Amino acid sequence: MGAYAYRAPSSVEEALSTLAAEAAAGNRAQMLAGGTDVMVQMRSIDKGPRTFVDVKHVAEANELCIGTDEVFIGAAIASAVLNESQELKSILPGLIEAADLIGSTQIQGRATIGGNLCNSSPAGDTIPALIACGAVCVIASSGGNREVPTEDFVTGVGTNVLEPTEFLVGFKIPRPKGRTSDAYLRFIPRTEMDIAVCGAGVALTLDDSGVCTAAKVSIGAVAITALVVPDAAAALVGTTVDDAALAAAADASSALAKPITDKRGTVEYRRKVVGVLTKRAAAIARDRALAL
Amino acid sequence: MAEAVDLKAIGTRPVRPDGIEKVTGRAAFGADLHLPNMLHGKVLRSPYAHARIKSVDLTRARAAEGVLAAISGADFPGNASDLGKNVIARDKVLYHGHAVAAVAAKTQLQADVALDLIEVEYEVLEPVMSLDQAMAEGATLVNETQHTNGDTSKPPSNVAATQRFERGDLEAGFAQADVIVEGEYRVPMAHQGYIEPHACTATVNEDGKATVWCCTQGHFDVRSLTAQVLGERVGNIKVIPSEIGGGFGGKTTIYLEPLAVKMSQMTGRPVKMTMSREDVFRATGPTSGTWCKAKIGAKKDGTFTAASAWLAYEAGAFPGAPIGPGCMSVLAPYEVPNLVIEGNDVLVNKPKVCAYRAPGAPQSMHAMECAIDELARKLDMDPIDLRLKNAAGEGTVAPYGPRFPAIGLRECLEAAKVHPNYLAPVPEGGGRGVAVGFWFNIGMQSSAEVRIAEDGMVTVMEGSPDIGGSRASMALMAAETLGVPYDQVKAHVGDTESTGFCNVTGGSRTTFATGMAVIQACEDIIAQCRQRAALTWDLDEEQVDWVDGEAVPKPGVNADVNPLSLANIARGAGRTGGPLLGRASLNAQGAGASFSCNFTDTKVDTETGKVDVLSFTAVQDAGRAIHPSYVEGQMQGGAVQGIGWALNEEYIYDADGVMENAGFLDYRVPVASDMPMIDTEIIEVPNPFHPYGVRGVGETPIVAPLAAVSNAVRDQLGFRIPDLPLSPPRVLEAIDEREG
């Protein structure tokens, strides 16, 4: 217990120099986005002194750019803002629905997908969705920006590749082309205000005849980090994403899952249901792609 | 008794007097009091579920910055009662979260730091965490000196007490049956889940008089219980109840108050103590986890011939599981000629249970209502018809003794049978479940005062904390009795020194019993008004009537006078004998049992095990609905709590007896979007023992939903999952096992 300090840099440069100065002074610095995890943790499990560095005022982290080849989503943009972009919702419906699953409407006024990733919970809802749509993390570092695929960002429960002097600026996502769409589903015992027992994100591309030409499947809350499931994607590619392909994708997710038994579910339960979610998310992504 | 057609105020739906303050955030709840120089008290809680306390060293905590007091069980000398030991542990800690010590400091942070400086040495013991473990031969004892029913000729046991009801010849009854159903059902420990955590502030002045502000369902009980734990005189403690953010029975005891008073005595400063949500889960009284065996037999035509129930209820750390009400309720809705009902009150290393809405009834009736559902299937009878065939009515002798006066079970069942939701087909792929609920309701002691201001405004003062709109109900009954408009009446809940004694708001007694006191106090006012009018008119009191809020000469009395309203009489009260003050106090008799019939349509996602509640219909006898919106609110709230308990709510413990889900994230009460609209239908079979026919309505609503949901899931799946909650992992596992 002790003092808390708060800094609100307005640029990447200023944020990096703030982080460097705090590190040099031997202070603990923690990036703050929506605060919907950090504030709760500060009041309950991690009360130690630190300097909060608020990313919400960093200009680059608030950029939203929907280009012809690439989408950039700043790490500080509130989920509610993303949810209001009809264009984003139409091209990345799975990612936006994942963001929309986190917290209530009020919470979404603060919460960010960047914060969700940096919190690095195994159950973070946007993580499998980001992985599925091929998001790359843009990390501000003293030597310039570095880029890390989302599936390589989280290293363990609550840990990630960020150095104490680095922070996440945003995500680069290839703009979906042609009949490409995505979907994310999570399982919770309630309808909202809960944490995923397991989750599955699927992005896929169909050709003119409805045959899947590319797919990426990622599952959450069934291992210490979200997992990419290459076998599930392989089961979908080359098919019309029919029941047999869906069943095979489900089996692939169940097979790869390495869940634990805890108060939210058993190993057996998670293993089975993550397959069910994979199948259902893939069917939704297929139907969305077909409608394009 | 007044008939419905004569009623002007009762049965209307005015805005509750506390509504505006609550929706604007102005209402003051337990934690909202701030006093100058106030200290913050915090509790050190046991990290073990079961351990002997070898020593508690407060030296370092007392020396810490900002700390003005630190106490442990040693600061409460004398033989401690179970209540005293629950407030602060003495020789043993009996559950994870049991209070061991407390500190008071100038800031919350300083108090937190001080807690870390308290040194407690424990000898860790094996925790007793289940009924099976507690009741097994040679079980570790939660209390080494406890003998069942106090019988010291037998060895000590975790079973604190047993209860038994018996009628007829059970074996002969089952021998007469054509069909018998038997099952075992478990219901998990569940918390009331009130939104407001416990909070209190105490200040002790130089005369040694203590004032306590707290959120409670009964401030007179807080006064007597706090006095008992502290060894103080009741008269030295004044308790002021705040607004209350839910209780459901859980705020009928004390946890923090003696600690706050003690530390205020020691420091001469006010001490405020509030619980976190985690404290609430770990250290306050939930209701019992249970293990029930139910058996019931019937003839081919559905007539019950015999039934038995064996109930084991977790008491937590100290005796007092609600086995009495569990036994009373289990077969109360039915005519059963031969029965045996047995209950066991069993200690385990979990928090001491407290009342929770119809304490004990949901668990035992879940078992029997599931068994009756199976019986209806075997008999190929509609589940409502089977219940109608055996329904208790006026004159039925309840299993626990008394003969029922007029009751509304049959009316509820008949209304359910023709309800549009019941006539509608079961949704495609889903299931429908029916169950009956019951609560006997209680009377107990209440007082009320009615004061008339000089302009005729009516102030009702009573001592029942308002947890469900009771101030509105009191004002409606006063308005009805006096014959004045609702907005001429304001009802208030007084503190222990400004109003007469009232027992707790619990047992669904307030509208019935305190309401009766309010009515009698109003009748006292009417008698005084007739006397004052007689004096004014130079008539005899017997020649004056009270009609529609006015004194008038009785028909045939020859007097050329204008009627005198309450305001007329109040304005001239100084000339006719002084202010108008009506009073009544009573120990209310004749609380009327309230029965219900609930049915629900559910759909199980057979790939995930998730149960969706598609519709839920609650039909209940209110006797007379004073404020129908609040009766419906009780029915809906109870249904949602029952559904939550049926589907997801449970205490999850690790191997060491530590609760793993001490928060609303993982102790899953339903959120609004989980629930369909709870449809309600109020039945009114008046209680003959209340002036307006009131029965208590607050508790019955939580009783039937557990079995109704279980029966609906059974209807869809084709097999029974006997244990609750019907959480997704349990349901999916059962489906997978069934499918091999």
pLDDT band at B5 (very low <50, low <70, confident <90, very high): low
- Nearest-CB residue to A191 (from B666, B674, B733): B674
Q: With an 8 Å Cβ cutoff, is A193 touching chain B?
A: yes
DSSP symbols for A15-69: HHHHHHHHHHTT--EEEESS-TTHHHHHHHT----EEEEEGGG-GGGG-EEE-SS
Query: What is the interface size between A and B, counted as CB pairs within 8 Å?
Result: 52
Interchain CB distance below 8 Å, B729 and A269: yes
Q: How far is CA B265 from CA B56, B240, B244, B314, B503, in A?
A: 21, 18, 26, 36, 27
DSSP symbols for B79-133: PPPHHHHHHS-SSEE-STT-EEEEEEESSHHHHHHHHHH-EEEEEE-----SHHH
Q: Is A253 a member of any domain?
A: yes
Q: Is A183 a member of any domain?
A: no
The per-residue pLDDT for B677 is: 98
Question: With 70 as the cut, is the pLDDT of residue B399 above it?
Answer: yes
Q: Is A133 a member of any domain?
A: yes
From the CA of A41, how many Å to the nearest CA of chain B?
A: 14
pLDDT band at B512 (very low <50, low <70, confident <90, very high): very high
What chain A residue is nearest to B728 in terms of C-alpha separation? A189
Q: With an 8 Å Cβ cutoff, is A189 touching chain B?
A: yes
Question: With 50 as the cut, is the pLDDT of residue B523 above it?
Answer: yes
Q: Which residues contact B440 (CB under 8 A, 6 or more apart)?
A: B325, B328, B329, B332, B398, B591, B593
Summarised one tens digit per residue, pLDDT across range A163-178 is 999 999 999 999 999 9
| Collapsed DSSP state (helix, strand, coil) of residue A79 | helix
Give Dmax over CA atoms of chain B in angstroms: 91
Asked whether residue A68 falls in the same domain as residue A163, the answer is yes
- Show the tokens assigned to A284: 């939704």
pLDDT (mean) for B683-692? 97
- Nearest-CB residue to B608 (from A190, A193, A276): A276
The per-residue pLDDT for A45 is: 84
The per-residue pLDDT for A2 is: 55
Q: With an 8 Å Cβ cutoff, is A190 touching chain B?
A: yes
Asked whether residue A64 falls in the same domain as residue A169, the answer is yes
Q: With an 8 Å Cβ cutoff, is A272 touching chain B?
A: yes
Rg of chain A on CA atoms, in Å: 19
The number of distinct structural domains making up chain A is: 3
Interchain CB distance below 8 Å, A194 and B665: yes
Question: With 80 as the cut, is the pLDDT of residue B723 above it?
Answer: yes
pLDDT (mean) for B206-224? 97
From the CA of A274, how many Å to the nearest CA of chain B?
A: 9
Asked whether residue A79 falls in the same domain as residue A141, the answer is yes
Summarised one tens digit per residue, pLDDT across range B113-167 is 999 999 999 999 999 999 999 999 999 999 999 999 999 999 999 999 999 999 9
Q: How many other C-beta atoms are found inside a 10 Å radius of the C-beta of residue B231?
A: 11
Pairing between β-strand B581-588 and β-strand B564-565 as defined by DSSP bridges: unpaired
Last residue of a domain, one of A174, A208, A233: A174
Interchain CB distance below 8 Å, B733 and A268: yes
Interface test with B, best of A273, A278, A280 (most B CBs within 10 A): A273
- Nearest-CB residue to B671 (from A192, A268, A273): A192
Asked whether residue A69 falls in the same domain as residue A162, the answer is yes
The per-residue pLDDT for A48 is: 86
With CA atoms as reference, report the closest residue to B519 among B397, B444, B626: B626
Asked whether residue A212 falls in the same domain as residue A118, the answer is no
Asked whether residue A53 falls in the same domain as residue A63, the answer is no
pLDDT (mean) for A247-258? 98
B244-282 as b/e: b if 16+ CB within 10 A: bbbbbbbbbbbbbbbbbbbbbbbbebbbbbbbebebbbb
Asked whether residue A168 falls in the same domain as residue A138, the answer is yes
With vertex at residue B247, the alpha carbon angle to CA B241 and CA B250, rounded to the nearest 5 degrees, is 105
Question: With 90 as the cut, is the pLDDT of residue A224 above it?
Answer: yes
Interchain CB distance below 8 Å, B668 and A194: yes
The per-residue pLDDT for B11 is: 97
d(CA B505, CA B507): 7
Q: How many other C-beta atoms are found inside a 10 Å radius of the C-beta of residue B148?
A: 18
Q: Which domain holds residue A151?
A: 59-174
Question: What residue type is A15 in one-letter code?
Answer: A
From the CA of B448, how many Å to the nearest CA of chain A?
A: 44
Asked whether residue A117 falls in the same domain as residue A132, the answer is yes
- Partners of residue A195 in chain B, C-beta under 8 Å: 665
Would the pTM count as exceeding 0.90? Answer: yes
Interchain CB distance below 8 Å, B671 and A265: no
Asked whether residue A65 falls in the same domain as residue A170, the answer is yes
CB B667 within 8 Å of CB B206: no
- Partners of residue A191 in chain B, C-beta under 8 Å: 671, 673-674
Q: Is A191 a member of any domain?
A: no
Summarised one tens digit per residue, pLDDT across range B53-98 is 999 999 999 999 999 999 999 999 888 999 999 999 999 999 999 9
d(CA A109, CA A81): 8
Lowest mean pLDDT: which of A103-107, B248-252, B543-547?
A103-107
From the CA of A243, how many Å to the nearest CA of chain B?
A: 15
Q: Is A185 a member of any domain?
A: no
Summarised one tens digit per residue, pLDDT across range B425-449 is 999 999 999 999 999 999 999 999 9
Q: CATH number for the domain including A20?
A: 3.30.43.10
The per-residue pLDDT for B2 is: 42
With CA atoms as reference, report the closest residue to B510 among B480, B483, B472: B472
Any bridge partners for residue B433, and if so which? B600
197-226 in chain A: CB under 8 A from chain B? 197
pLDDT (mean) for B569-580? 96
Interface test with A, best of B668, B726, B737, B739 (most A CBs within 10 A): B668
Asked whether residue A50 falls in the same domain as residue A64, the answer is no
What chain B residue is nearest to A267 in terms of C-alpha separation? B729
The per-residue pLDDT for B292 is: 98
From the CA of A276, how many Å to the nearest CA of chain B?
A: 7
Q: Is A114 a member of any domain?
A: yes
Structural domains in chain B, CATH included, are 19-26+443-586 (3.30.365.10), 33-125+198-274 (3.90.1170.50), 290-441+592-739 (3.30.365.10)
Q: Is A186 a member of any domain?
A: no
From the CA of B733, how many Å to the nearest CA of chain A?
A: 8
- Partners of residue A190 in chain B, C-beta under 8 Å: 648, 668, 670-671, 673-674
pLDDT band at A1 (very low <50, low <70, confident <90, very high): very low
Give Dmax over CA atoms of chain A in angstroms: 63
Summarised one tens digit per residue, pLDDT across range B602-641 is 999 999 999 999 999 999 999 999 999 999 999 999 999 9
d(CA A201, CA A211): 19
pLDDT band at B559 (very low <50, low <70, confident <90, very high): confident
Any bridge partners for residue B95, and if so which? none
Q: B671: buried, middle or exposed (CB in 10 Å: 19+, 13-18, 0-12)?
A: middle
Q: CATH number for the domain including A272?
A: 3.30.390.50
Mean pLDDT for all residues in chain A: 96
Interchain CB distance below 8 Å, B732 and A195: no
Asked whether residue A46 falls in the same domain as residue A65, the answer is no
Question: With 90 as the cut, is the pLDDT of residue B300 above it?
Answer: yes
Interchain CB distance below 8 Å, B113 and A187: no
What chain A residue is nearest to B277 in terms of C-alpha separation? A44
Going across the sheet that includes B489-493, the strands are: B489-493, B458-462, B444-452, B581-588
From the CA of A246, how many Å to the nearest CA of chain B?
A: 14
Would the CA dihedral through B568, B572, B576, B578 be positive or negative?
positive
What chain B residue is nearest to A3 in terms of C-alpha separation? B109
CB A243 within 8 Å of CB A265: no
229-268 in chain A: CB under 8 A from chain B? 262-266, 268
Question: With 60 as the cut, is the pLDDT of residue B226 above it?
Answer: yes
Last residue of a domain, one of A38, A57, A76: A57
Asked whether residue A152 falls in the same domain as residue A221, the answer is no
The per-residue pLDDT for B694 is: 97
Interchain CB distance below 8 Å, A190 and B729: no
Pairing between β-strand B119-124 and β-strand B199-204 as defined by DSSP bridges: unpaired
Q: Is A189 a member of any domain?
A: no
Work out the percent of chain B whose per-residue pLDDT is above 70: 99
CA dihedral B661, B662, B665, B671 (to 10 degrees): 110
From the CA of B665, how many Å to the nearest CA of chain A?
A: 6
Last residue of a domain, one of A57, A73, A92: A57
Interchain CB distance below 8 Å, B671 and A190: yes
With CA atoms as reference, report the closest residue to B309 among B162, B435, B157, B165: B165
Interchain CB distance below 8 Å, A269 and B661: no
Q: Where does B515-580 show beta strands of DSSP type E?
A: 544-547, 550-553, 564-565
Q: CATH number for the domain including A75?
A: 3.30.465.10
d(CA B329, CA B707): 14
Summarised one tens digit per residue, pLDDT across range B308-355 is 999 999 999 999 999 999 999 999 999 999 999 999 999 999 999 999
